[in-house]
Amino acid sequence: MKIAVVEGDGIGHEVIPVARRALEVLRPDFEFFPVEVGYGKWQRCGQAMTEEDMEALKSADAILFGAITTPPDPDYRSVIVQIRKTLDLYANIRPVSGKGFDIIIVRENTEGLYSGMEKIEKDSACTVRCITRKGSERIARCACRLVKSRRELTIGHKANVLKSDVFFRDICIAEAQRANVPFRECYIDALCLDILQHPEKYDVILTENMFGDIVSDVAAFLVGGLGMLPSGNLGDRYALFEPVHGSAPDIAGRNIANPVAALRSAAMLLSYRANDRTGAAAIEEAIQQVLARGIRTKDLGGSATTTEFGDQVIRELARRSRT
Ligand code: ATP
- Kindly state whether residues 72 and 94 are assigned to the same domain: no
| Contact between residue 100 and residue 200 where contact means Cβ atoms under 8 Å apart | yes
Cα atoms in the Cβ-side hemisphere of radius 13 Å centred on 234: 19
137 in the same domain as 269: no
Contact (CB, 8 A) for 48 and 42 = yes
Pocket test for ligand 1, best of 69, 76, 228, 245 (most atoms within 8 A of CB): 245
- Candidate of 226, 242, 247, 264 to mutate for ligand 1, largest count of ligand atoms within 8 Å of Cβ: 226
Same domain, 141 and 220: yes
Probe target for ligand 1 pocket from 251, 287, 291, 309, with the most ligand atoms within 8 Å of CB: 251
**Which of 206, 234, 262 delimits the end of a domain?**
234
Residue 125 sits in the same domain as residue 216: yes
In angstroms, rounded to a whole number, what is the distance separating the alpha carbons of residues 251 and 198? Answer: 32
Residues 153 and 55 in one domain: no
Give the residues surrounding ligand 1 with Cβ less than 6 Å away: 11, 15, 67, 69, 226-227, 245-248, 250-251, 257-258, 261, 299
| Domain CATH for 151 | 3.40.718.10
Among the candidates 210, 234, 258, a domain finishes at 234
Statement to judge: residues 218 and 296 lie in one domain? no
Claim to verify: residue 274 and residue 222 sit in the same structural domain: no
Same domain, 220 and 320: no
With CA atoms as reference, report the closest residue to 235 among 76, 61, 78. 61
What's the pLDDT at 2? 98
Find the angle CA(48)-CA(53)-CA(57) to the nearest 5 degrees.
Answer: 125
User: pLDDT tens string for the chain (323 positions)?
Assistant: 999 999 999 999 999 999 999 999 999 999 999 999 999 999 998 889 999 999 999 999 999 999 999 888 777 778 998 999 999 999 999 999 999 999 999 999 999 998 888 899 999 999 999 999 999 999 999 999 999 777 899 999 999 999 999 999 999 999 999 999 999 999 999 999 999 999 999 999 999 999 999 999 999 999 999 999 999 999 999 999 999 999 999 999 999 999 999 999 999 999 999 999 999 999 999 999 999 999 999 999 999 999 999 999 999 999 987 76
**207 and 263 share one domain:** no
Assess whether 67 and 139 both reside in one domain.
no
Q: Where in the sequence is the domain holding 180, given as residue range(s)? A: 90-234
Domain tally, the chain = 2
CA 77, CA 69: separation in Å to the nearest integer? Answer: 12
Report the C-alpha gap between 36 and 43 in whole angstroms: 12
Q: Do 111 and 168 sit in the same domain of this protein? A: yes
Residues 116 and 224 in one domain: yes
Distance 10 CA to ligand 1 centre (A): 10
pLDDT value for 210: 96
Q: What is the predicted pLDDT for the residue at 179?
A: 95
Q: Using the 3D structure, point to which of 185, 203, 234 is the last residue of a domain.
A: 234
Is there a contact between 273 and 239 (Cβ–Cβ < 8 Å)?
yes
